[in-house]
Amino acid sequence: MKRRASASNSSAAATPPNDSLSPPYKPHTPPLPPQPSAQPGGLFCLCGRAAALATRIYGARRGGLAPIGILVRRKVILISTTHQPATDIGFLLHKNPHRVHVSDLTFGKSYVVYPEATDERATAALIVDIDPVRLVRGMDRAKGSLTNYVNDRPYVASSFLSVAIADAFGTAMSGRSKERPELVETPLPLEVEIPVLPCRSHPDRINRLFEPLGYAIHIKRHPLDPEFPEWGQSHLYRVHLSARVTVRDALRQIYLLLPVLDAKKHYFMDAREVDKIVQKGRGWLESHPEKNWILRSSLGRKPSLFREALEQLANAEEELLVEAEDTDSALAGPEMDESDPVTPTDRTAAPPLHRLRHDRIVELVKDLRPKSVLDLGCGEGKLLRLLVPIQGIERIVGVDVSMYALERAAKALHLEDATPRFAERVQLIHGSLMYKDERLRGFDLCTVVEVIEHLDQPRLAAFEKVVFGSAQPNAVVVTTPNREYNALYEISGLRHEDHRFEWDRQQFRRWSESVAATFGYSVDVEGIGDEHPNYGPPSQLALFRR
């Protein structure tokens, strides 16, 4: 079988393959019409068959729901706006409406064209052409398996389309636009059309994914074959979404949620997949009512990855709350007069709990005067940034299991452009507090801030052996929430979904004293935050010393 000749780099040659080659089980499609000429105020003059294909897609869409035989043959997603001028979307997508944009992928090619680009309305079409030969070669299936040759991967919206979205619109997803920076954070009237979206569960799942994000949804189910209606309905849907949302958020949401419904990612998933989900889901996934189902489906129902994703999302949510608190403080008016009565609504005027916690740890560090500090579960480096200015600390090391968190910590600490002396003093390590690691030994002080509650209780013994038995720092600071205080938050269970447990004051003291006795430490336990007469403080701290 001869392979199709690759397109040249010229715009005219960079066109999708002949559209008359359709799957044998689909209706025959007549040859494409000639390239349309440019019309003032109408379609831009696109190149060759790409323009014709884009025109057909657009024309079929405007004329109603097109037959599945026309649109199913390649992965397509349409993004439209009526923002004035609508062609500004080209600056946000970083794709010029006057050109055909072609990209080589490991499994085929992608094309971005504009079947419609006027001041009143613009539509960008991402067309993905999967090479069946590359697809078979990349599949890790049993030799001779029928699915190597007969499958729906080239035709449905799946993880292949998500990869193409990230490749074509990666800069847009990062929220950058040099020409129209003011539009990056501006919600625009957007429409997203997905002609063939697989969903093997109840179609209500589609609504439950997109409605909480503010989308209006129109769904039409495709028949198994329009020529044989007695065969019934397929698991494929044509989905039209509309909302006022930023282009960045819309792309991130589509990118993450398309593979959720398909649940057949074509690549291996590890901790890097967790980092990617948390990064793209920042700002909306933390509060999504279907968050757990999204994570389980996205991560192949792997419990370890699911737990890690929940933990990272909780950290991201806390970061967002911190940013919101800082914004509220900046926008607040002049300080209240001391004679003004304090009401429950004034509680935001008090320092947030995370700040009180870090302030107390900084006080302890200054009292203990360590030369080296190890922060286990450092996250995005909030505590590390507070430790850097403290004189006398010669070495600061942060450890986290999340590469995404470490990347953000490195950015916050400016390690990329740090001087050699600073880079030697402040280091980040990818590691786990569940396994013995020689790199964790020899520190004067170890901090474990709001970490242990994310561990399964049966695994606490391993944590104790790693920190107190193997690493053996001279002092250890451990903080964790006080479960009793949850009553004031009107929470009947745990404070966060990703917490595996939470201790009351008595339980935490018993555990601290047991660890100290086992590994030869003394321990002092105290509270952090305003103490309630019945429920105690919101957080609690144990200081272990050898």
Residues 153 and 188 in one domain: yes
Kindly indicate the confidence band of residue 151, based on its pLDDT and cuts at 50, 70 and 90. low
In a domain, 8, yes or no: no
Kindly indicate the confidence band of residue 543, based on its pLDDT and cuts at 50, 70 and 90. very high
Rounded to an integer, what distance in angstroms lies between the CA atom of residue 126 and that of residue 145? Answer: 31
Query: pLDDT exceeding 90 applies to what percent of the chain?
Result: 35
Q: Is the pLDDT of residue 480 over 60?
A: yes
pLDDT score, position 67? 32
Rounded to an integer, what distance in angstroms lies between the CA atom of residue 294 and that of residue 260? Answer: 6
Mean pLDDT along residues 517-533:
94
Buried b (16+ CB within 10 A) or exposed e, 394-408: ebbbbbbbbebbbeb
Residues 179 and 324 in one domain: no
Is the entire prediction scored with pTM above 0.85?
no
Which carries the bigger pLDDT value, residue 30 or residue 397?
397
pLDDT score, position 440? 95
Mean pLDDT along residues 188-194:
92
Residues 263 and 274 in one domain: no
pLDDT score, position 58? 45
Residues 360 and 318 in one domain: no
Mean pLDDT along residues 368-383:
94
In 226-302, which ranges are continuous DSSP H helix?
247-262, 271-281, 291-298
In a domain, 486, yes or no: yes
Rounded to an integer, what distance in angstroms lies between the CA atom of residue 261 and that of residue 413? Answer: 38
Mean pLDDT along residues 240-250:
93
Rounded to an integer, what distance in angstroms lies between the CA atom of residue 449 and that of residue 47? Answer: 58
Residues 313 and 438 in one domain: no
Q: What is the mean pLDDT of the chain?
A: 76
Residues 313 and 376 in one domain: no
In a domain, 450, yes or no: yes
Of the three residues 249, 267, 285, the one that is the final residue of a domain is 267
In a domain, 337, yes or no: no
Give the angle 474-475-477 at the CA atoms, nearest 5°: 160
pLDDT tens digits, 497-510: 678 899 999 999 99
pLDDT score, position 123? 93
Rounded to an integer, what distance in angstroms lies between the CA atom of residue 462 and that of residue 435? Answer: 8
Number of domains in the chain: 3
Residues 230 and 376 in one domain: no
- Find the CATH number of the domain harbouring 475: 3.40.50.150
pLDDT tens digits, 266-287: 555 666 778 788 878 888 888 8
Mean pLDDT along residues 406-421:
88
Cα–Cα separations (whole angstroms), residue 305 to 269, 273, 491: 9, 9, 26
Residues 52 and 131 in one domain: yes
Q: Which amino acid is at 290?
A: E
User: Following DSSP, what letter does each residue of 131-159 receive, concatenated?
Assistant: -HHHHHHH----TT-GGGTS-STTTS-SH
In a domain, 19, yes or no: no
45-54, 84-93, 302-311: lowest mean pLDDT where?
A: 45-54
* End-to-end Cα, the chain, rounded Å: 73
Mean pLDDT along residues 155-162:
70
pLDDT score, position 42? 31
Residues 466 and 452 in one domain: yes
Residues 242 and 310 in one domain: no
Residues 361 and 273 in one domain: no
- Find the CATH number of the domain harbouring 96: 3.30.1610.20
Domain that holds residue 292: 269-328
Of the three residues 215, 234, 267, the one that is the final residue of a domain is 267
Q: Is the pLDDT of residue 25 over 90?
A: no
In a domain, 494, yes or no: yes
Query: pLDDT exceeding 70 applies to what percent of the chain?
Result: 71
pLDDT score, position 405? 84
pLDDT score, position 388? 93
Residues 71 and 150 in one domain: yes
Q: Is the pLDDT of residue 43 over 60?
A: no
Residue with tokens 């599945």: 68
Q: Is the pLDDT of residue 45 over 60?
A: no
pLDDT score, position 320? 47
In a domain, 13, yes or no: no
Tokens encoding 313: 């999302």
In a domain, 250, yes or no: yes
pLDDT tens digits, 312-347: 776 655 554 444 444 344 333 333 333 333 333 333
Rounded to an integer, what distance in angstroms lies between the CA atom of residue 247 and that of residue 187? Answer: 7
CB atoms inside a 10 Å sphere around CB 341 = 6
